[in-house]
Amino acid sequence: MLRILTLCHGNICRSPLAEVLIEAAISADPLLAGRVTISSAGTSDEHAGEGMHANSTAILSARGLRTSHQARLFTPALAATLDLVLAADQANLRNGRSIIRMAERQPEIRLLRDFDPTAVGHDLDDPWGHPPTAYERTATEITAAIPGLLAELRDRI
């Protein structure tokens, strides 16, 4: 079983949105379904225990996807259970690396947008505090990275 995690700051906007969108794509892929698990976490505990941001929930609900979520902190113990961490932006990449260095077993960490060959920039837009259109833009950026990610995951299976 390949275990991946999406990582952002608070685990209420970008990482749960990415988690569910990627989860749906993995479930629809006959080579990956049942062989890859995905979860999410944040580098900050300020939203720990909270649900997903309402705008992320609305996007997923409109697509008929799961909206249940409980924000959690990315810890060295959690990192040790993973194979790949997908960071939302450079700050999450740096913070994630710091946490991973303390783990018994260290997973690979990369930026999610690195899987999109057409991406302009490396950071996933942070929609927090912006209108719903910003969340849609973030969902579009995540969706654009999914084909490259799935190809990578197929190579790892």
- The candidate with the shortest Cα–Cα distance to 138, out of 58, 50, 35, is 58
Does 77 score more than 90 pLDDT? yes
- Kindly name the residue from 14, 72, 116, 125 that is annotated as catalytic: 14
- Pair 104, 134: CB distance under 8 Å: no
Kindly report the pTM of this predicted structure: 0.96
98-148 pLDDT, tens digit each: 999 999 999 999 999 999 999 988 999 999 999 999 999 999 999 999 999
Find the catalytic residue in 83, 97, 126, 156. Answer: 126
Catalytic: 8? yes
Per the annotation, the verdict on 63 as an active-site residue is no
**Is the Cβ–Cβ distance between 120 and 133 less than 8 Å?**
no
| HEC per residue, 76-105 | HHHHCCCCEEEECCHHHHHHHHHHHHCCCC
Locate 124 and state its tokens: 């996933």
Backbone torsions φ then ψ of 103, nearest 5 degrees: -80, 150
20 Cβ neighbours under 8 A, 6+ residues apart: 60, 65, 66, 67, 69
Find the catalytic residue in 8, 13, 113, 116: 8
pLDDT of residue 120: 87
14 is catalytic: yes
Query: Which residue is it, tokens 């390949």?
Result: 2
Contact 157, 30 (CB under 8 A): no
The per-residue pLDDT for range 47-70, each reduced to its tens digit, is: 999 999 999 999 999 999 999 999
Model pLDDT for residues 81-93, shown as the tens digit of each residue? 999 999 999 999 9
5: which 2 tokens? 């995690």
List C-alpha distances in Å: 141 to 67, 73, 104, 112, 125: 19, 24, 32, 9, 8
- Which of the four CATH numbers 3.40.50.2300, 3.40.50.1100, 3.90.45.10, 3.40.50.10950 does domain 2-156 have? 3.40.50.2300
β partners of residue 7? 41, 87
- Residue with the two structure tokens 């690979």: 108
Q: For residue 93, which amino acid is it?
A: L
